[in-house]
Structure 1
Amino acid sequence: MTADPPRVVIADDQALVRTGFAMILGADGIEVVAEAADGAEAIDAVRRTRPDVVLMDVRMPGVDGLEATRRILADHPDPPRIIILTTFDLDRYVYAALSAGASGFLLKDVTADRLVSAVRMVRTGDALLAPSVTRRLVERFAGRDEETTLHRDLSTLTPRELDILRLIARGLSNTELAARLHISETTVKTHVTRMLSKLGLRDRTQAIIAAYETGLIVPGSGTPPE
């Protein structure tokens, strides 16, 4: 049985962007349940419509996309997945939004196919970012803003879960993790799920950030500290 298509809220202060994205998604059968011109409208739209995914411009007047992301994720027990929209791929606001729990980001010049696949991908619970892109963001911005820094206690993790976290931060897929650790992919998935749960993280994107912010991986080196 085919799952229902994602329900989406588009938040951007440019009407042309909202209209263009809505047309692209609608043509693929994805329902846009609301549009918002700023963060306050986005927060209200999410409360009213309970979407699966929010496309959130990071820079908007009044309540910006970062603050709106924080409020939406804090206000809802089962919040929507949030994709940050930006003009720049190495933006400290994007990094802060990922730290706050956003599932990934897209540049505003994204292709139609990429936009559709991104919405469907995060709806299923996958992180949108390639690990290499996440690492570039983290290595540039980690630790610069105390307010957005993740404070996680890694002492709850088993040695195996720590190994998993280190390797995720280096960009390894589940298949590569299984080969490196000589275990099955099913076992890898179990370890990843437990590790994320213990640290209160939503996905692998946040796991990569946590590995750097806690010092498990040193920014600039890609390797654990001595």
Structure 2
Amino acid sequence: MVRVLTIDDDPLVRAGLRLILGGSPSVHVVAEGSDGDEAVDLVNEHQPDVVLMDIRMPRVDGLEATQRLLALPEPPKIIVLTTFDSDDLVLRALAMGADGFLLKDTAPRKMIEAILQVAAGEQALSPSVVSQVISLATRSSTSSRQRSARRLLEQLTQRERTVALAVGRGMTNAQIAEQEYLSVATVKAQITRILGKLGVTNRVQVALIIHDANLG
């Protein structure tokens, strides 16, 4: 059972999310918040696996709340919610370390699938969105960033490097497993090692390093 916290200033949206997620035996909404300012306290109190974070809120927006949560010793997975798939705040949150994003009108089944994906360590992003995040985060890319990224990647074994390149292309664990003739469990273990060696927390950040190294 994946424990979910929802943060949204619109009570109708919170009610809708509660209704959608309440229909799944795999997901449980443990708490709700109406502002990003409540996020850290609610996470500390309820220990959710995944936070659904509205990106636009009047006092503390989802970007600042995401930053606060990612600074915790053991941050939850974060999916930002938006009404626009090209929202600049969403891209900034993803570049910062959020694990995915969902449109608020996403079909219930797709929303639940995305939550389960992120809880399992994957990303709720299409390859095109990964490309947008990379573009945003690397506008000021320099040769020093390339050298730094390549030094990081030198720590990887050849197999890990291959998997990292596939992650950078937005492939899922199942797709990587099929391409490399590995089990999904082996791919998960490889990605865990890659994250540790690169000093990052999620797959989007791996994609950024791949891009910085000019390997994407």
TM over 0.5: yes
Q: Tell me by how many angstroms 1:78 deviates.
A: 2.3
Whether 1:170 aligns to 2:165 is no
Q: Tell me by how many angstroms 1:86 deviates.
A: 0.9
Aligned residue for 1:102, secondary structure, equals coil
- Matched residue type, 2:133: L
Q: Distance in 2 between matches of 1:183 and 1:33?
A: 38
- Who is 1:220 aligned against? none
- Who is 1:84 aligned against? 80
- Who is 1:120 aligned against? 116
Q: Distance in 1 between matches of 2:172 and 2:2?
A: 26
Unaligned runs of 5+ in 1: 218-222
Q: Deviations over 1:45-87 (max 9, x none)?
A: 1122111111001111221111111111212x32211110011
Alignment partner of 2:15 out of 13, 19, 25: 19
- Who is 1:206 aligned against? 205
Q: Tell me by how many angstroms 1:115 deviates.
A: 1.5
- Who is 1:100 aligned against? 96
- Matched residue type, 2:204: T
Change (3 A) 1:126 1:158: closer
- Please report the TM-score for the alignment, with normalisation by the length of structure 1: 0.77
How many residues end up aligned between the 2 structures? 207
Q: Deviations over 1:124-177 (max 9, x none)?
A: 2222213333123323x233489xxx9964414246244443343234455665
Q: Distance in 1 between matches of 2:178 and 2:31?
A: 44
Change (3 A) 1:25 1:191: closer
- Who is 1:192 aligned against? 191
- Who is 2:5 aligned against? 9
- Who is 2:35 aligned against? 38
Question: Is the contact between residue 105 and residue 129 of structure 1 (CA under 8 Å) also seen in structure 2?
Answer: yes
Task: Give percent identity, aligned residues only.
Answer: 43
- Who is 1:142 aligned against? 137
Whether 1:133 aligns to 2:118 is no
Q: What is the aligned-residue RMSD (CA, Å)? A: 2.8
- Please report the TM-score for the alignment, with normalisation by the length of structure 2: 0.81
- Matched residue type, 1:168: V
Aligned residue for 2:71, secondary structure, equals helix
Change (3 A) 1:41 1:15: same
Q: Please say which of residues 45-54 and 200-209 is displaced more in the overlay.
A: 200-209
Question: Is the contact between residue 80 and residue 98 of structure 2 (CA under 8 Å) also seen in structure 1?
Answer: yes
Question: Is the contact between residue 11 and residue 55 of structure 1 (CA under 8 Å) also seen in structure 2?
Answer: yes
Q: Distance in 2 between matches of 1:73 and 1:167?
A: 25
Question: Is the contact between residue 4 and residue 30 of structure 2 (CA under 8 Å) also seen in structure 1?
Answer: yes
Q: Please say which of residues 190-199 and 95-104 is displaced more in the overlay.
A: 190-199
